[in-house]
Amino acid sequence: MAFVDEIKEGEELLKVDNIYMNFGKVSALAGVSCSVKKGSIHSIIGPNGAGKTVMMNCINGLYHPQQGSIIYKGEKINHLKPHHRAKLGISRTFQKIELFSGMTVLDNIRLGRHIHLKSGILSAAVYLGKTAREEIEHRRFIEEEIIDLLEIEHIRDKTVGMLPYGLQKRVELGRALALDPELLILDEPLAGLNLEEVEDMARFIIDVNEEKRWGVTCVFVEHDMGVVMDLSDDVTVLNFGEMIASGTPEEVQTNPEVVKAYLGAEDMYASRR
């Protein structure tokens, strides 16, 4: 396939072009389009049931839209399965935590390295030489780049199912980052966190977006308007499966239709500012 190898800062990385997704007679997405620029944080907002998560699932490949196309690096990826899309550098976190609850934190993050591990099954069965070296190499990456960044050193050997909610969210971000993604889909990463944890999480998102080492483009679904307006470069607003506005945070905030559908009058959205 002819994927464009080098996409420069500010050029289009992902384009969602006029997608339709129906479940029976319920239309979850009707003609939604958006364009995500490389290096940006692109927020998708809207009231509950607006189709935000459906859109994320379409980008990620869990759902296949009935019409329209999803273009990643200049190539249509509609037909690809989620695991193929992961190899292209699309990673995600989930709204409801979807960690591997029986495994340790370290193993969860190691699993994120899956697509980067090269050794085959025979080599793994013997676990000498190549596989052992590779495991140590990736362990170094995980410890130095991810565990250090997310400040989860103290829980690395704990079973994930036993951890408090805030830490689980953080481990999920770590697992998504272990893929070394180019496009990171964050589906409500702040839901259910307290103020301190929200601030930490926002800091991590800014870090992975802005640091040279990562430079990850983020698609960000969130209800916390304070954080959304502060972090994002572009905002797309959905309502009942239709796109009602798109633009910079300032444009969206003043758009009368958005205010009517979602933000409400006055500045209720600024509660956390």
Enumerate binding residues for another protein (CB under 8 A). 60-62, 81-83, 86-87, 91-92, 94, 98-104, 107, 110-112, 114-115, 117, 119, 121, 124-127, 131-132, 135-136, 139-140, 143, 157-159, 162, 175-176, 179
Nearest to another protein of 72, 262 (CB atom): 72
* Cα–Cα distance, 233 to 206 (Å, whole number): 12
Sheet holding 41-45, edge to edge: 90-93, 183-187, 217-221, 41-45, 234-239, 242-247
Nearest-CA neighbor of 176 among 271, 35, 56? 56
Cβ of residue 126: shortest distance to another protein, in angstroms? 7
Nearest to another protein of 30, 55 (CB atom): 55
Cβ of residue 50: shortest distance to another protein, in angstroms? 22
Cβ of residue 104: shortest distance to another protein, in angstroms? 6
Nearest-CA neighbor of 234 among 86, 3, 39? 39
Nearest to another protein of 71, 103 (CB atom): 103
Nearest to another protein of 75, 98 (CB atom): 98
Sheet holding 75-76, edge to edge: 26-37, 12-23, 67-72, 75-76
Nearest to another protein of 168, 253 (CB atom): 168
Q: What values do phi and psi take at 92, rounded to 5?
A: -155, 160
Cβ of residue 87: shortest distance to another protein, in angstroms? 6
Cβ of residue 270: shortest distance to another protein, in angstroms? 34
Task: Write out the two tokens for 4.
Answer: 């464009």
Compute CA distances 26 → 21, 29, 51, 212, whole Å: 9, 9, 11, 43
* Cα–Cα distance, 17 to 95 (Å, whole number): 24
Residue 203 identity = R
Q: Is the dihedral of CA 210, 215, 217, 220 positive or negative?
A: negative
Cβ of residue 111: shortest distance to another protein, in angstroms? 5
Nearest to another protein of 21, 171 (CB atom): 171
Q: Provide CB contacts within 8 A for 73, sequence distance 6+.
A: 3, 4, 7, 13, 88
Nearest to another protein of 51, 112 (CB atom): 112
Cβ of residue 267: shortest distance to another protein, in angstroms? 36
In this structure, are residues 198 and 224 in contact, taking their beta carbons and an 8 Å threshold? yes
Q: What values do phi and psi take at 51, rounded to 5?
A: 105, 15
Nearest to another protein of 173, 252 (CB atom): 173
Cβ of residue 241: shortest distance to another protein, in angstroms? 22
